[in-house]
């Protein structure tokens, strides 16, 4: 559901520039002249349009997050869902099994 966007700026990066980029997504890493942003997939086109209109960009890379991160996110969501179900008193053992009489 997200993309990693690496922007290489033509001009020096200062705190003001970094602050203005936070509205587009999470700053994952920055090392002048590059900034890597994590952005929701649906927001990428609008983000790129706004950034390309506002700043001089020498290079741009849009990529999928590493597979390891995607897998970790899936397991985190499954764990969070299980924890929530436990808190609510819901569990697979309380569910009626397929073919079982109620």
Give the pLDDT confidence of 86-101 residue by residue, as tens digits.
777 775 555 555 555 5
Tell me, what DSSP letter sits at residue 25? S
Report the share of the chain in percent with pLDDT over 90: 57
3-state SS class at 94:
helix
- Higher-scoring residue by pLDDT: 82, 61: 61
CATH fold of the domain at 2-65? Alpha-Beta Plaits (3.30.70)
Delimit the domains of the chain by residue range. 2-65
Q: What is the pLDDT of residues 20-52, one digit of tens each?
A: 999 999 999 999 899 999 999 999 999 999 999
**Among candidate residues 26, 27, 34, the one with its CA nearest the CA of residue 6:** 34
Distance from first CA to last CA of the chain, Å, rounded?
Answer: 39
Comparing 9 with 94, the larger pLDDT belongs to 9
């Amino acid at each position: 559901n997200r993309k990693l966007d690496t922007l290489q700026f033509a001009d020096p990066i200062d705190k003001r520039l970094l602050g203005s980029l936070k509205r587009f997504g999470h700053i994952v890493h920055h090392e002048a002249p590059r900034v890597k942003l994590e952005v929701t997939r649906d927001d990428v086109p609008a983000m790129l349009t706004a950034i390309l209109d506002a700043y001089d960009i020498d290079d741009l890379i849009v990529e999928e997050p590493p597979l390891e991160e995607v897998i970790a996110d899936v397991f985190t969501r499954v764990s969070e869902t299980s924890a929530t179900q436990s808190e609510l008193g819901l569990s697979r053992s309380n569910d009626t099994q397929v073919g079982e009489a109620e």
